[in-house]
Structure 1
Amino acid sequence: MRVTKKNKLFSFVIIVIVLGIIAFPIVHILRTKWGETDIHRTLPPHYVDDASTLNPTKVDTIIAIPKDRSAIENQLRQILQYANAKGLKISVAGARHSMGGHTMYPDGIVLNMLPYNHMELDTVENILTVGSGALWSDAIHYLDHYGKSIAVMQAFSSFSIGGSLSVNGHGWQKNSPPLASSVLSFTLMNAKGQVLLCSRKENSELFHHVIGGYGLFGIILDVKLKVVNNQSLKFHYINLAPENYTKYYKKYILDNPKVDLVFGRLRVSNKNFLAEATLNYFEQTAEQPIQLDQQNKKMEETKRLIFRGSVNSEYGKRLRWDLETSSAIPARHLTFTRNEIMDSQVSLIENKDTTSTDLLHEYFIPERNFMKFIQDIKPILLKSKLDLLNITIRAVNRDDDAYLNYAQEDVFGFVLLFNQKKTAQQEVEMQTLTDLLVDATIKNEGTYYLPYRLHITKDKMRKVYPQANSFFRTKTKYDPSELFNNKFYRHYK
């Protein structure tokens, strides 16, 4: 068949278009990489900060707790004596992923608990005894040798176990209350230097106040956690309209006994803003998991750049959504172990722009108001000048353990991630935005999470947490001199 000039031109145009489609996202990702820096901020001596990078605070002393289990109690008692003699306050820190100064007090002592990370597994009762400074990733790797897995934990494994208890973090495990539900007991050093065993039966008032108590009642030392079997899980997902989310959640998650891990997402690009959603879940399978090789590890940097490329970029947000919702992505059809899935690092979304920071919000909404909450926050978010990067949805069952309880009934947690410039103007805009979002939460009978920026007044906080006054009275009952202290306590007490 004769090829005409017209056909050649048409073929050439098609090739150019295809190459453009392929090349444009690559250029976008490379431009994101070129705009980053590996320069890390260095704090002056005697200064600490947290994950917000907005809380540089001068402290008296930073003390790393010894790894040795037999030495820790004596050293901690000496620190308590020193603090009392000098009139200093004590804050307890782990991986510092809270964002409101929860791990620091001006001119106080900061206890770095990370070295205290011992582990021991009771293979008969399936109970892990672990030092509070251990990271969840440490525990996952340890349990992997025994074919076991963490029962309940947050989406990232970079947090410390003691820190997660202090905020009563929740996970993405199906039909699960927050982390408190998997805690059998823990030991606590109080302000007098006494080590107390706390459980639902022994020192129960302390048990309920320390979990989700933000380090205000003492120093968590050893924690006993329930563990479960590691198993093979296969990924599935559904594209859906947000108004169908709770109906599909019941059909594909609650009514499916094989589902183990589950989360949802809302679309945050200007195109179809909050008008599309995905329901993502991992189902138990008899298939053998894939073996992760070095090439898979290298893909993590590509994933991070795709995420970072969505910052202040409508194209980047659309690209990320299209990639995450494409059935053509090979990982959509693979099988992994539960531990591989749960061992996810915060570095996957790391911000390397020193002029900005990523800040989390979280709002817990009962099912009956799920769609109304989305409708109420949509105009607020569209009007805001702050860059919304992500909204993840996680179901959290009612929590009957933590006294300062955010899951007062079964709820859906909306986890919002913003990118904020480190300017006074954007800080004011964030405070205004947070206040409006909390108002929408109160309107929809929900609660907001307390580990983040301290932008809500203590009066409004008490509308959401009417038990707050009682909580703070109990704090002074056990610690009348307010030895254990932090910026969170100063702001809300």
Structure 2
Amino acid sequence: MNHSNDFPLVNDVHSGLNATRVAEIIAPRNVAGIGAALAHAAEHDLPVAICGARHAMGGQQFGHAALLLDMRHMNRVLDFDNVNGLIEVEGGIQWPALIDYLEAAPQDGAQRWSIRQKQTGADALTLGGCLSANVHGRGLRMAPFIADVEAFKLVDANGTPHLCSRQRNPHLFSLAVGGYGLFGVIASVTLRLAPRRKMRRDVSVIGLDDLPAAFQQRIDAGYVYGDFQFAIDPAGNDFLRRGVFSCYLPVDDATPVDASGKDLSEQDWRDLLALAHTHKTDAFARYAAHYLSTDGQVAWSDRLQQTIYPDGYHRAIDDRLGHCGSEMIGELYVPRERLCDFMHEAAADFRRHGVDVIYGTIRLIEADRESYLPWARQACACVIFNLHTEHTVHGIEASNAAFRRLIDLAIARGGSYYLTYAAAASLRQVRACHPNFAAFLEWKRRLDPQQRFQSNWYRHYRDLFAAEEETPKALA
């Protein structure tokens, strides 16, 4: 077990808006190390926060004055069942290492296995973190990540490990997947794999109003993955109304993989992101031209889900803009038949309030019937917005206000939003979109009565609900 007090100030990688001073950092290397860290926390009466790769930006991986468990050293493959397509990995393993392992591992028979889905935007996220946020990818007919989780080992506040699955400790299973690290430490995850297939990327540029039918046509034709990257220039007629539609169809595994080197380099991504801040029409035109040039490209189903995340990309942009900023992400869910009118109203709102959209995408998600805090309570379209945010009080509040307006647009259509990103929502919005939240907090109090596992995210929502309980009710 490695103790480190060298970096007591931590922050998230993407937004840089979660600077938190922690009591100390411990990086356990096994279950015994987790237990020792928890015993140390109990001895010194310290709350415990749990982090992985630090990409999450809602404050769920850090806690002020908490002992921070850095899980990245627990990154081994523990077991691989290549007959049934199951793999057990430690919670700190990141997607690239898992994909590389499966590609290189000897596998019996003709069937080869790999991941089914992963989150997009960045690869270097831990499996434990993905389970805790119940992430999703760009599958056209896939439920959130909980559907891919066979089981996991959870270490509670007393250092006791519990095997959680749909058969063993099912209630704890449902609470911890999408439970943001509040019920214990994810020591290992057993993942359901999928056949590794070659897939062809088919690309077109289409209008938003044609998107619902286009998605359905792709699903009917057997496409597995797909998304729609929309135009971001509010001065243009195509703003949020036109986009790059890319979908992936399984092909015969004898089909050659494209080795032309057409993928964007890290510098290409940096250039595109800079353009998205300064010349939005040019950024979309360049992005669309690149993807159209890859129409028909063939890749493996796991590799096509990987992407380049240019760490620290915003520093060069800050130099150009003359201020410190980053992108805040929000994700909204609406019934698929309400997608177009949601986007039209969002575009009008962004123009009215001068909201600076840097990039965004539309995907599909199936309903989650298993987690205690499901964000996809029905099959829906999910819309992701990345908003440029100046690191000032005014800039942060402007982005939070924009997300609150978007949440209201989603609520008006029977939709919801993702809890993982900035905690902008009002209590009314939390209750409307996540009706189990108060009961979720009560289960937290029951199962962790010492409140050992805490985070800035948890404290925010605990206090939000507590403030309502303490508010005197009006006399009848």
Task: Report the TM-score, using the length of structure 2 for normalisation.
Answer: 0.88
What is the one-letter code of the residue matched to 1:116?
Answer: M
Match of 1:350? 313
Asked if 1:142 is matched to 2:101, the reply is yes
Q: Please tell me whether the aligned partners of residues 373 and 440 of structure 1 are also in contact (alpha carbons under 8 angstroms).
A: yes
1:159 to 115, 125, 133: 125
Instruction: State how far apart, in whole Å, the 1-side matches of 2:434 and 2:212 are.
Output: 26
In the TM superposition, what whole-angstrom CA distance separates every residue of 1:267-291 from its partner, at most 9, and x where no partner exists?
1112121221332101112321023
Match of 1:20 in 2: none
Matches within 5 A, 1:48-87: 48-51=10-13, 52-66=15-29, 72-87=30-45
Task: Give the CA RMSD over aligned residues.
Answer: 2.0
Count of residues in Structure 1 that have an aligned counterpart in Structure 2: 439
User: Within 1, Cα distance between the matches of 2:126 and 2:354?
Assistant: 33
Which of the residues 80, 89, 93 maps onto 1:130? 89
Distance between the aligned counterparts of 2:147 and 2:215, measured in 1?
A: 22
1:250 to 185, 203, 216: 216
Give the letter for the 1:191 counterpart. A
Partners of 1:97 and 1:348 lie apart in 2 by 11
Q: How does 1:225-236 map to 2 (within 5 A)?
A: 225-236=191-202
**Residue 440 (structure 2) aligned to one of 456, 471, 474:** 471
Question: Which residue of 1 is the match for residue 9 of structure 2?
Answer: 47
Deviation, 1:416, is 0.6
- Report 1:250-399 matches (<5 A): 250-251=216-217, 253-257=218-222, 259-269=223-233, 270-272=235-237, 273-286=239-252, 287-291=255-259, 299-311=265-277, 313=278, 316-326=279-289, 329-347=292-310, 350-353=313-316, 355-399=324-368
Aligned letter for 2:63?
Answer: Y
Supply the distance in 1 between the matched residues of 2:33 and 2:369 (Cα, whole angstroms).
35
1:483 and 2:452 are equivalent in the alignment: yes
Q: Return the letter of the residue paired with 2:47.
A: K
Larger Rg: 1
Q: Kindly state the Cα deviation for residue 393 of structure 1 after the two structures are TM-superposed.
A: 0.6
The answer on whether the counterparts of 2:203 and 2:294 sit within 8 Å (CA) in structure 1 is: no
> In structure 1, the residue corresponding to 2:33 is in which secondary structure?
helix
Structure 1 position 342, deviation (Å): 1.6
TM-score by length of 1: 0.85
Does residue 222 of the first structure (1) align with residue 159 of the second (2)?
Answer: no
- Residue pair 1:140, 1:343 contacting (<8 A) in 2 also: no
Q: The residue matched to 2:310 in structure 1 has which SS? A: helix
User: Do the aligned residues in 2 keep the contact of 1:89 with 1:484 (CA within 8 Å)?
Assistant: yes
> CA contact under 8 A between 2:140 and 2:363: conserved in structure 1?
no
- Structure 2 CA distance for partners of 1:458 and 1:433, relative to 1, 3 Å: same
Q: Secondary structure at the match of 1:117?
A: coil
Q: Structure 1 residues 351, 447: closer, same or farther in 2, change over 3 A?
A: same
> Structure 1, residues 298-323: CA drift from partner, whole Å, max 9, x if none?
73322331232211x2xx32122223
What SS does the aligned partner of 1:346 have?
Answer: coil
CA contact (8 A) 1:359 1:417 kept: yes
The DSSP-based 3-state class of the residue aligned with 1:415 is strand
Partner deviation per Cα, 1:81-121 (whole Å, 9 max, x = no partner): 22122221000100111112111111111100011011132
* More moved, 448-457 vs 343-352: 343-352
Distance 1:345 1:300 in 2: 6
Cα distance, 1:187–1:327 mapped onto 2, change above 3 Å? closer
1:326 counterpart SS class? helix
Aligned residue in 2 for 1:99: 57
Shift of 1:327: 7.9
CA contact (8 A) 2:362 2:381 kept: yes
C-alpha contact (below 8 Å) 2:31/2:187 kept by paired residues: no
- Secondary structure, aligned partner of 1:310: helix
Deviation at 1:329, TM superposition (A): 4.9
Task: Supply the distance in 2 between the matched residues of 1:268 and 1:328 (Cα, whole angstroms).
Answer: 16
Q: Show the 5 A alignment for 1:399-410.
A: 399-410=368-379
Q: Quick one: distance in 1 between partners of 2:341 and 2:214?
A: 17
1:424 and 1:104 map into 2 onto residues whose CA distance is 21
Deviation at 1:169, TM superposition (A): 0.2
Query: In 2 relative to 1, CA 328–379 (structure 1 residues): closer, same or farther, beyond 3 Å?
Result: closer
Contact 2:155/2:185 (CA < 8 Å) preserved in 1? yes
Question: In the alignment, is the contact (CA less than 8 A) between 1:386 and 1:426 conserved in 2?
Answer: no
Whether the 8 Å CA contact 2:119–2:137 is kept in 1: the answer is yes
Identity %: 23
Separation in 2, partners of 1:373, 1:333: 31
Contact residue 308 and residue 349 of structure 1 kept, 8 A = no
- Structure 2, unpaired ranges of 5+: 106-111, 319-323, 463-476
Deviates more, 1:452-461 or 1:50-59: 452-461
- CA–CA separation in structure 2 for the residues paired with 1:230 and 1:190: 35
Does structure 2 retain, via aligned residues, the 8 Å contact 1:458–1:491? no
Contact 2:136 2:143 in 1 (8 A): yes
Q: CA deviation at 1:59?
A: 0.8
Q: Which amino acid aligns with 1:132?
A: G
- Cα distance in 1 for partners of 2:113, 2:312 equals 27
Deviation at 1:199, TM superposition (A): 0.3
Give the counterpart letter for 2:184 in structure 1.
Answer: G
Residue 286 of structure 2 aligns to which amino acid in structure 1? L
